[in-house]
Amino acid sequence: MNEAKFEVWDVFTDTPFTGNPLAIVETDGTWTTAQMQTVAREFNLSETIFLMPPSVAAHTARARIFFPTAEIPFAGHPTIGAAHFLARRDGLTDIVLEEEAGLVPVSIRAGRAQFTAPVRPAPQGGPIAVGICAKALGLAADDIGPHNPQAHAGGPAFAYVPVRSHAALIRARPQEPAWSILMETAGVDSAWLYTPDLKARMFSPTAGIPEDPATGSAAAILASQLLENGDLPDGTTHLTVRQGETMGRASMIEFEADVADGAIHAVRIAGHAMPISRGTIRQP
């Protein structure tokens, strides 16, 4: 029976048993997509990342990332977690991951991993009607704002739904059939809700994720939503996103964006991570 080593890390936190859990599986590069999907479904976490030898020797590892239901080209919390894992295993401070969305350089400094998003985020379609968003989340139309709801993409894609208060954020729940209408209208399978002070929640039930404790890729793509709504000026902007509090898994995502002449030039996401468990899992 063939087995692979794995570790579980809590990501976007420096406190064990908070943040977003991540399964990291070390493989030899021979596993099939179906085998990786089976193992991701077995862990049943928001994401599982599989690390294998890189295609170019100068890079650190090739990485493939899976929801319980499907592979995705890029995600923030697996990138941060895998970088912390590789830094501890190999004594590295600079890492390059070969992800499906492209090369992702990650630096580790003072216990904090930071990556530059491989794809610059951009709007996907126009603004989404407030009424559609409100019905989909069990909220009143007055709860939505002050920004315009809209989908944005940068590898993955999300419907960004601004809510005016913490109370509205806590009340929000996907409501069918309105939820499916929102997803179809936006052309996505996930919605990321945020308050003016950047407390956030992410729902993706059709992808097998009822709620995600921390979504690094959504925090990166937030740059496009902020720019579209006039809230990302030229220069470098530093922000902190807090997610997962309603789940008892408080997470902190650090965001930086470089903007010049009204265009996004780079987005960086940073965070801590903590090892929680390790073991072996059989190859399906």
**146 and 104 both lie in a single domain:** no
Query: What integer pLDDT is reported at residue 1 of this predicted model?
Result: 60
pLDDT tens for the chain, residues 1 to 284: 699 999 999 999 999 999 999 999 999 999 999 999 999 999 999 999 999 999 999 999 999 999 999 999 889 999 999 999 999 999 999 999 999 988 999 999 989 999 999 889 999 999 999 999 999 999 999 999 999 999 999 989 999 999 999 999 999 999 999 999 999 999 999 999 999 999 999 999 988 889 999 999 999 999 999 999 999 999 999 999 999 999 999 999 999 999 999 999 999 999 999 999 999 999 99
Judged on CB neighbours under 10 Å (0-12, 13-18, 19+), 122 is middle
**83 and 204 both lie in a single domain:** no
94 within 8 A of 252, measured Cβ to Cβ: no
Locus of tokens 């903007």: 259
**146 and 59 both lie in a single domain:** no
Query: What integer pLDDT is reported at residue 207 of this predicted model?
Result: 84
Give DSSP secondary structure letters for the chain. --EEEEEEEEES-SSTT-SEEEEEEE--S---HHHHHHHHHHHTSS-EEEEE--SSTTSSEEEEEE-SS-EES--HHHHHHHHHHHHHHHT-SEEEEEETTEEEEEEEETTEEEEE-SS--EEEEEEPPHHHHHHHHT--GGGB-SSPPEEEESSSEEEEEEBS-HHHHHH----TTHHHHHHHHHT-S-EEEE-TT-EEEEEEGGGTEEEES--HHHHHHHHHHHHHTT---SEEEEEEEEE-GGGT--EEEEEEEEEETTEEEEEEEEE-EEEEEEEEEE--
Locus of tokens 């709504």: 229
Query: What integer pLDDT is reported at residue 190 of this predicted model?
Result: 96
Q: Report the alpha-carbon distance of residue 224 to residue 217 in Å, rounded.
A: 12
Query: What integer pLDDT is reported at residue 155 of this predicted model?
Result: 84
**131 and 242 both lie in a single domain:** yes
- Extract the tokens encoding 200: 């956030």
**Full residue range of the structural domain in which residue 246 is found:** 122-270
**127 and 244 both lie in a single domain:** yes
**148 and 65 both lie in a single domain:** no
- The domain that holds 14 is classified in CATH as 3.10.310.10
Total domains present in the chain = 2
Query: What integer pLDDT is reported at residue 251 of this predicted model?
Result: 98
**130 and 254 both lie in a single domain:** yes
**99 and 154 both lie in a single domain:** no
- Extract the tokens encoding 155: 């590898």
**208 and 154 both lie in a single domain:** yes
Backbone angles phi, psi at 216, to 5 degrees: -65, -40
Query: What integer pLDDT is reported at residue 206 of this predicted model?
Result: 86
Q: Which positions are catalytic?
A: 47
